[in-house]
Amino acid sequence: MDHAITSSSSLSDPKLPPELERIVFEFTALLHPTAIPRLMLIAWRVKYWVEPLFYRVVVVSFFRAQLRPKVVGLPTWTADVFLEQIEKRKPSFFHVVRHLFLGYAPTTVPISTVDTILGACPRVTNLFAHGQSASVTSLSGLKFLRHLTITADVLFQPVIPFSAPLFFNLTHLELLDGAFLTIDIHTIWEHISGIPHLTHIAFNSTSITDLTPTLTRENTQIKCIVYLFGIDEDDDDDFDMEHFRPLAEDTRFVCIQQSDWRLDWLRGAAATMGDDYWTLAEVFIAAKVAGKIDRSRFFIVDTDQSWRR
């Protein structure tokens, strides 16, 4: 009987030192985030180790139809469900969130809802905030941001001081359509040039064509300037890619046609799903500088990477 108990106990005991076992499970969780819910069922200690990794990337949608990221196994909620989770969990639980996607926020959703979500995730390093976005107060609490995609109105109506802590660590900024209709692109460029560590900037407004290579080259800190447009946008009668050619005199400039901007963001956040547009732009620019691509070329499609050969 004693032998049976000893044998059973030895089979259930971990065979690796706890420190090494934890590394194995965490590495597995990072490589296969969709497997994390199953890993959590193995043992309490495993759940304790890997559950935070499941919430590194969080998608909050304000329309149920936008919950497409479920297909890649990432946590996805509607705003009301996520608010319930915030109330149920300890105040520090969602401090593990590093990548946060906030989908379209209709005008019926109070900004206070977005503020509550951001307040629960103060250690976010990569934020996508579309639509109604958030108040300046809640954004100011995000002191670890490195990547920010946001509607331009939030930053420029009125203009937020770009010396604020919000921008201290920011390296990548994507400005979505909004203030471009009322704020001159030169004013926008002047302000973003004051962000201390900004190296990557992206726009999806054609007003970027009002910039000149002479002006963009004045900011030597910027390494990558991207214009993004959708897969159907080039069919628009008013859309002409040649309008962007003068900007292409600056080798840091590239136009990228995106097939799915939500999936592109998830690629960058999950880091196991392929290259996002930032990485594509960097590789493309490096290839031009190295003479592997004609220096006159400035346009690529994210689904066609034949130029990398």
Question: Quick one: tokens of 157?
Answer: 């109506």
pLDDT of residue 69: 47
| Range from 11-15, 88-92, 197-201, 211-215 carrying the lowest mean pLDDT | 11-15
pLDDT of residue 44: 81
Higher-confidence residue of 299 and 136: namely: 299
Alpha carbons 62 and 77: distance in angstroms, whole number: 9
| Range from 7-16, 65-74, 105-114, 230-239 carrying the lowest mean pLDDT | 65-74
Mean pLDDT over 220-230 rounds to 94
Q: In which band, very low, low, confident or very high, does the pLDDT at 236 lie, cut at 50, 70 and 90?
A: low
Please choose, from the candidates 111, 91, 90, the residue with its C-alpha nearest in 3D space to the C-alpha of residue 102: 111
Please choose, from the candidates 288, 289, 295, 292, the residue with its C-alpha nearest in 3D space to the C-alpha of residue 245: 295
Alpha helices in 41-182 (DSSP H): 44-54, 79-88, 111-120, 136-140, 152-156
Q: In which band, very low, low, confident or very high, does the pLDDT at 95 lie, cut at 50, 70 and 90?
A: very high
pLDDT of residue 2: 47
Report whether pLDDT(3) > 60: no
Report whether pLDDT(5) > 50: no
- Cα-Cα-Cα-Cα dihedral sign, residues 169, 132, 115, 159: positive
Report whether pLDDT(67) > 60: no
Report whether pLDDT(181) > 60: no
Alpha carbons 246 and 244: distance in angstroms, whole number: 6
Tell me whether the omega of the peptide bond preceding residue 14 falls within 30 degrees of 0, making it cis.
Answer: no
Report whether pLDDT(150) > 60: yes
pLDDT over 70 for what percent of the chain?
A: 83
pLDDT of residue 235: 58
The count of other CB atoms within 10 Å of the CB of residue 112 is 12
Q: In which band, very low, low, confident or very high, does the pLDDT at 103 lie, cut at 50, 70 and 90?
A: confident
Report whether pLDDT(148) > 90: yes
Is residue 150 within 8 A of residue 175, CB to CB? The reply is: yes
Mean pLDDT over 199-215 rounds to 91
Mean pLDDT value across the chain: 83
pLDDT of residue 1: 46
Burial of 221 (0-12, 13-18, 19+ CB in 10 A): exposed
Q: Which residue has the tokens 């732009």?
A: 281
pLDDT of residue 124: 95
Report whether pLDDT(21) > 70: yes
Mean pLDDT over 191-208 rounds to 91
Report whether pLDDT(108) > 90: no
Mean pLDDT over 67-87 rounds to 74
Per residue in 257-300, pLDDT (tens digit) is 998 888 888 888 877 667 899 999 999 999 999 999 998 999 99
* DSSP H or E run through 76: strand 76-78
Q: In which band, very low, low, confident or very high, does the pLDDT at 233 lie, cut at 50, 70 and 90?
A: low
| Range from 41-45, 180-184, 198-202, 211-215 carrying the lowest mean pLDDT | 180-184
